[in-house]
Every structure is written in C-alpha cells, then in structure tokens.
C-alpha cells in the first residue's frame, strides 16, 4: 500500500507542480464549478457529498450538471449523458456511481466519461444549448484540466500504509473545504489544517424505498452484501442502527454481478430465511438484472452534521 501510494502521489504531485509552473492550462467553463474529491483511492464518502451539494443547489433554484467518470463502464471511454427523464439505467453502460447519483438526485443532468470537457459539451447540447448554473465535478480533485471555483475534499482516518492514496497530505493545501467523513482521529496534525476550512459529518441510514409487500414474510435477520470501496464502514453503520447482521459478504469495488450470481444470493437468503441488505451502489446493479424492490432492502447513507455547517454554507454558497 505504502509503495503504491508513494508512486501515485509522486505522479499527481508532479502534475500539480506543472500546473503551478504554467505548463498545464486549465479550461474555464461558463458556469460555477464545485469539485468533490479525495486523496485516498475511494472509500472517503464523496458520493453523499455530491448528492448533498446537488440537492442544496436544486433547493436554491439552480440547474445542476454532474460530471462523473463512470469508472469501468462502457461510457467511461465513449461518453454518454443521463437526463432527468431517463429511467431503467444500466450501470454496465453508464457506471454504478452515475446510476446511483441519478437515483439520489434525479433532477440533475449527468455527463459520464473520462473526457469531462467533451461530456460537458454533450450535456449542453442535450439541453438545447443552455448551460447549467452549477457544475459538480465528481471525483475531481486530481482533474487539473478544468478550472474550479471550489475544491471540496473528503478526508478520513486512513493512512497511506493501510489504504492506497492518490496524493500526499500536502495536496490538501489546494482545498477550499475539507470534510472529515470517517474515523475518530484526523490522519494529519491539526496544525496542518489551520488554514483550511474544516467541517465534520457523520452518516445515518435512510431506506431508498419502502416496499410494504415485504412485511410479514421476512425475518429480522439480515445479510449485508456490498461491493464498495469501504465495505467495513457500511457494515459498522448497519450495526449501529441496531440491525442484526448474520453475515456480511464484501466483494470488490465495482463488482460486476451477473443474473446467475444475484439469483444465487436470493435463493440462499430464502433458504436461510434472512433479508438481504444492499447499498444504493449495489442496488442499481441488482435492479438492472431484474430484482424487485420487494426482494431486498436498500439503505444509503445520509449526511449528519457534527460541526462546521456554517463553514460549509459560507464556502459553498457564500452565506
């Protein structure tokens, strides 16, 4: 972990040096850009932050576009656009994270693809040439091609020797707002955060849908199945909610389920008389394979403010 973190951090650190020297030119888009990212490779809780910003912007009456890579999807290379009217998304094409963001913020346009500038143009074209009021750059901290107005960076308790890091802690000096999302101890000395606005959040579970057809036919024993970067945090959050988790199957992040694997899980759950719990990121993949809301329970974390809500409002919305 430490060696890979060092190599990845060196590469991104060199790119930032090139940016400071003027060797990399940023493109300024005709809308306000808020980037949400992290320095560790996944598992920092940035997706709930993206959804929170999108929801708040919508509440302020702003039109929103999210630019997301769509990691390991068909659209990652060729590109694609998700409109608010789209339904029955297939994560194999658009990616599991964009499909989840569409679920959490169905009112936004989402440009999917590794070429964010190209996909922004495609979003504008799909909107009849109308630019949005706000662009949210999902996983954008290491994207140096687009000029950003605000850099939001999620940080956790993890260290480079236990988790793969994309950049060193020194890169946090480029952030406009740090959001402490996980862990009881900050991973760096507080002295290093003095000049960076900091807020802290925790998470609570919310059920993405409530299907009454489940009632009366399931037990109170649960089986958690996850394929996310930080499966342990999801498991801990389920336990904190008071649910009795019999077992937890943690698959690799962005795991590609098949119809056969999903049906095998459902049959085993029926035989053992347990209820399957999924995260939203897994649910969008199961749904595309024909699973009904009555067959599983889906929970997704929602932000709770520990401290710094006023700082968040001031940095993001100039309140």
Could you read off the pLDDT of 38-93 as tens digits, one per residue? 998 888 899 999 999 999 999 999 999 999 999 999 999 999 999 999 998 999 99
Q: Is the pLDDT of residue 251 over 50?
A: yes
Interval 100-123 mean pLDDT: 97
How many whole angstroms separate alpha carbon 141 and alpha carbon 91?
24
How many whole angstroms separate alpha carbon 53 and alpha carbon 56?
5
Q: What predicted TM-score, i.e. pTM, was given to this entire model?
A: 0.92
Lowest mean pLDDT among 44-53, 87-96, 189-198, 253-262: 189-198
∠ at Cα 123 (117, 126), nearest 5°?
145
Q: Is the pLDDT of residue 191 over 70?
A: no
Please count the structural domains in the chain.
Answer: 2
Q: Are residues 91 and 174 in the same domain?
A: yes
Q: Are residues 37 and 51 in the same domain?
A: yes
Q: Are residues 65 and 76 in the same domain?
A: yes
Q: Are residues 221 and 188 in the same domain?
A: no
Q: Is the pLDDT of residue 214 over 60?
A: no
- Cβ atoms of 220 and 273 closer than 8 Å: no
Q: Are residues 97 and 171 in the same domain?
A: yes
Alpha-carbon torsion, ordered 132, 135, 138, 143, to 10 deg: 130
Q: Are residues 107 and 243 in the same domain?
A: no
Q: Are residues 238 and 312 in the same domain?
A: no
Residue 264's domain comprises 206-301
**Tens-digit pLDDT profile for residues 146-179:** 999 999 999 998 887 778 888 888 888 899 999 9
- Cβ atoms of 300 and 44 closer than 8 Å: no
Q: Are residues 312 and 233 in the same domain?
A: no
């Amino acid at each position: 972990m430490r060696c890979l973190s060092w190599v990845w951090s060196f590469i991104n650190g060199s790119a930032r040096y090139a940016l400071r020297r003027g060797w990399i030119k940023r493109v300024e888009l005709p809308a306000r850009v808020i980037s949400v990212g992290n320095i560790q490779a996944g598992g920092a809780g940035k997706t709930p932050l993206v959804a929170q910003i999108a929801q708040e912007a919508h509440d302020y009456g702003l039109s929103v576009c999210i630019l997301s890579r769509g990691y390991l999807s068909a659209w990652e290379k060729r590109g694609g656009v998700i409109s608010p009217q789209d339904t029955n998304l297939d994560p194999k094409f658009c990616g599991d994270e964009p499909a989840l963001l569409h679920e959490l913020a169905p009112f936004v346009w989402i440009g999917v693809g590794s070429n964010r500038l190209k996909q922004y143009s495609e979003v504008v074209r799909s909107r009849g040439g109308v630019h949005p009021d706000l662009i949210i750059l999902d996983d954008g901290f290491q994207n140096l091609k687009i000029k950003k107005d605000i850099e939001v960076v999620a940080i956790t308790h993890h260290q480079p020797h236990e988790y793969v890091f994309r950049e060193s802690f020194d890169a946090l000096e480029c952030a406009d707002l740090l959001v402490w999302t996980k862990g009881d101890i900050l991973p760096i000395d507080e002295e290093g955060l003095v000049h960076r606005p900091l807020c802290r959040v925790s998470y609570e579970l919310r059920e993405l849908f409530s299907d009454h057809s489940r009632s009366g036919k399931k037990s109170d024993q649960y089986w958690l199945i996850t394929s996310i970067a930080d499966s342990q945090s999801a498991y801990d959050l389920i336990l904190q909610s008071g649910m009795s988790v019999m077992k937890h199957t943690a698959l690799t992040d962005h795991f590609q389920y098949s119809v056969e694997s999903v049906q095998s899980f459902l049959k085993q759950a029926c035989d053992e008389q347990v209820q399957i719990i999924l995260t939203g990121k897994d649910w969008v993949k199961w749904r595309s394979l024909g699973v009904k809301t009555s067959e599983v329970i889906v929970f997704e974390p929602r932000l709770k403010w520990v401290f710094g809500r006023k700082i968040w409002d001031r940095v993001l919305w100039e309140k």
